[in-house]
């Protein structure tokens, strides 16, 4: 089982906290947030880890090396320019998960998520197993197995982890039907836009077909990919757990969650 941990962001709103190191390298309880995420993956048997890097990338690569000291295998996907959360996934696939032979990756014609040229991909990824995506600057002890179980019970190319939060003003929030299918996803909602308090935890479990819906270049899951999938009636589901997920985009949020 593999995971891609997103760790390329600059954290520009953090001021001095991220001026000399990447945001995922900020220490919490004595070790970088990124290390907490690697240990969470290992806890659930995920030992093949890809990390996208950009801002002060040498600090991440020097600290974690090939991952052997953390009992995992780490491969780095270097971004010369930031590509966004979903763009980073596409870029990693382009670099490491392409076929080495001429031709197309073959999928069953019965698969209703089969590639469609309008989505902008070229359908030659050599990837048959589902994988996890984690935001490397969030801190949680989320039960990753729950996402895999949900994927096995549904015909979905994307399972999103959600956690409960009272203040949703700076978060992405979803609304669901009784089976957990996501009906809408609202980024940083106004008070009148939704009654949901289920916030995106920045943890996904995806089938390889997700790559067909991510165009080359910059794109963001919350702003670009989720709305497109919902609009095109591609079923995506959520797992809702009352598990604390700590995130910080500003100095104030850092002080509130970690001080």
Helix (H) or strand (E) holding 244: none
Rounded mean pLDDT, 4-20: 74
- Residue 249 scores a pLDDT above 50: yes
- Residue 253 scores a pLDDT above 90: no
Among candidate residues 55, 44, 51, the one with its CA nearest the CA of residue 4: 51
Using CB atoms within 10 A of its CB, is residue 47 exposed (0-12), middle (13-18) or buried (19+)?
middle
- Residue 250 scores a pLDDT above 70: no
Summarize pLDDT for 141-183 with one digit per residue, the tens.
999 999 999 999 998 999 999 999 998 988 899 999 999 999 9
Summarize pLDDT for 58-112 with one digit per residue, the tens.
999 999 999 999 999 999 999 999 999 999 999 999 999 875 433 333 333 333 3
Whether the CB-CB separation of 71 and 40 falls below 8 Å is answered with no
CATH number at residue 35: 3.90.550.10
pLDDT for 115: 34
Summarize pLDDT for 186-234 with one digit per residue, the tens.
998 988 899 999 999 999 999 999 999 999 999 999 999 999 999 999 9
Pair of tokens at residue 101: 């032979």
Residues of the domain holding 176: 2-258
Summarize pLDDT for 99-147 with one digit per residue, the tens.
543 333 333 333 333 333 344 444 566 677 999 999 999 999 999 999 9
Q: How many domains does the structure of the chain reveal?
A: 1
DSSP state of 15: G
DSSP state of 68: G
Helix (H) or strand (E) holding 50: strand 48-53
């Amino acid at each position: 089982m593999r995971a891609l941990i997103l760790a390329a962001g600059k954290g520009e709103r953090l001021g001095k906290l991220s001026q000399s190191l990447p945001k995922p390298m900020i220490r919490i309880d004595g070790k970088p947030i990124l290390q907490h995420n690697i240990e969470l993956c290992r806890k659930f048997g995920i030992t093949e880890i890809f990390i996208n890097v950009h801002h002060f990338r040498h600090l991440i690569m020097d600290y974690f090396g090939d991952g052997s000291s953390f009992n995992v295998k780490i491969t780095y996907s270097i971004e010369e320019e930031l590509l966004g959360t979903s763009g980073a996934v596409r870029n990693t696939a382009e670099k490491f998960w392409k076929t080495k032979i001429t031709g197309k990756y073959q999928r069953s014609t019965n698969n209703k998520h089969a590639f469609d040229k309008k989505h902008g991909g070229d359908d030659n990824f050599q990837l048959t197993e589902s994988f996890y995506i984690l935001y490397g600057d969030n801190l949680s002890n989320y039960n990753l197995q729950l996402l895999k179980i949900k994927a096995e019970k549904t015909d979905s190319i994307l399972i999103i982890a959600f956690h409960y939060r009272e203040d949703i003003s700076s978060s992405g929030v979803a609304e669901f039907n009784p089976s957990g299918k996501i009906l809408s996803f609202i980024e940083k909602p106004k008070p009148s836009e939704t009654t949901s308090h289920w916030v995106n935890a920045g943890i996904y479990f995806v089938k390889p077909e997700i790559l067909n819906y991510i165009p080359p270049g910059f794109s963001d899951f919350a702003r670009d990919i989720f709305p497109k999938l919902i609009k095109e009636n591609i079923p995506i589901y959520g797992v809702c757990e009352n598990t604390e997920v700590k995130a910080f985009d500003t100095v104030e949020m850092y002080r509130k969650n970690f001080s």
